[in-house]
């Protein structure tokens, strides 16, 4: 077992454990913070797999932006900071959910383990550097890239349009 | 050298956790956290696949001489796709949280078990939130 594999396994276990805590913790803020740990460990996993740019984008976009959005949403929806047992569904729902989760994970694991069996790959650090990724994005993937920028603009406008408060409509009703 | 089973198993575990989070949670924001974990499972698989030589698993079974040739694969598709997935996830969670905020403003709750009907079918439906 090489040193890379040891680092990979440590990061993978950290990521999986914190992901599990993020979906089971009874405190909402802890969920968001465990999500930070999970996504940060995943950025480490990407580094081990030789994808530097992806790891940086993961840190910037996920850990930086998405988690902040989640925390803002938790604040704005007045989520209870203290321990709450209303975050999860009733026990039968949790049981069904865990059965479904284990089934999905198991089916995926069965397929992938069958397909990959003993595959080992050489991790090449220079493949994930900024230069080859930039060249790839701006040559072969230019059209999807431009489409994505249109998608981002559309979602930005949509988010503003959806969450805009229509105060001038219901000022007379007051806050219901 | 790294064994590809590790990333595959990690992706499976994250996908299972994500599905559990989506189905078991009652708070809408926490459901979105589950969706993020599910998207990250896909990302792990994509990054792991980008470490394969051109031609994927079939390319790996060819001789080692061709591997050094396929080193020049210009598209590095897995990592570019991962960046795209991250972008789509950012767009998705932006719109998703805006919808959750709208839901909170209309119903004063984000508990999905409370929101059993939408629109005019609901007794406490109002034209403007």
How much is the pLDDT for B74? 45
Q: Cα A137–A139–A141 angle (5° rounding)?
A: 50
- Chain A positions touching B8 (Cβ under 8 A) are 109, 112-113, 116
Encode pLDDT of A7-36 as tens digits: 999 999 999 999 999 999 999 899 999 999
Separation between Cα atoms, residue A139 and residue B67, nearest integer Å = 23
Encode pLDDT of A42-56 as tens digits: 999 999 988 889 999
Residues in chain B: 129
CB contacts < 8 A, A to B, total: 288
Asked whether A38 and A15 are in contact (CB, 8 A), the reply is yes
pTM: 0.86
Separation between Cα atoms, residue A151 and residue B91, nearest integer Å = 8
Q: How far is B119 from chain A (nearest CA, A)?
A: 15
pLDDT band, residue A110 (cuts 50/70/90) = very high
Residues in chain A: 176
Q: How far is B120 from chain A (nearest CA, A)?
A: 17
């Amino acid at each position: 077992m090489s040193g890379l594999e040891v680092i990979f396994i440590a990061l993978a276990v950290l990521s999986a454990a914190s992901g599990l805590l993020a979906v089971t913790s009874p405190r909402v803020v802890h969920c968001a913070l465990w999500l930070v740990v999970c996504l940060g460990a995943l950025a480490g996993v990407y580094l081990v797999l030789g994808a530097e740019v992806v790891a940086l984008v993961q840190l910037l976009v996920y850990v930086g932006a998405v988690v902040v959005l989640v925390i803002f949403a938790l604040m704005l929806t007045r989520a209870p900071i203290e321990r709450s047992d209303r975050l999860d569904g009733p026990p039968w729902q949790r049981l069904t959910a865990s059965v479904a989760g284990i089934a999905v994970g198991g089916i995926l694991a069965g397929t992938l383990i069958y397909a990959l069996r003993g595959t080992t790959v050489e991790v090449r650090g220079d493949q994930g550097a900024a230069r080859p990724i930039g060249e790839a994005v701006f040559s072969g993937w230019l059209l999807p890239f431009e489409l994505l920028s249109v998608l981002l603009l559309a979602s930005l406008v949509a988010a503003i349009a959806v969450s805009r408060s229509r105060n001038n409509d219901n000022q007379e009703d007051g806050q219901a | 050298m790294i064994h590809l089973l590790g990333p595959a198993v990690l992706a499976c575990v994250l996908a299972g956790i994500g599905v559990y989070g989506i189905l078991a949670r009652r708070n809408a924001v926490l459901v979105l956290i589950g969706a993020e974990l599910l998207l990250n499972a896909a990302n792990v698989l994509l990054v792991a696949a980008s470490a394969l030589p051109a031609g994927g698993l079939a390319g790996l079974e060819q001789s080692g001489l061709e591997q050094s040739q396929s080193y020049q694969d210009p598209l590095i598709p897995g990592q570019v796709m991962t960046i795209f997935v991250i972008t789509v996830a950012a767009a998705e969670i932006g719109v998703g949280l805006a919808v959750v905020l709208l839901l909170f403003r209309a119903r004063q709750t984000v508990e999905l078990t409370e929101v059993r009907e939408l629109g005019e079918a609901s007794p406490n439906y109002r034209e403007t939130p």
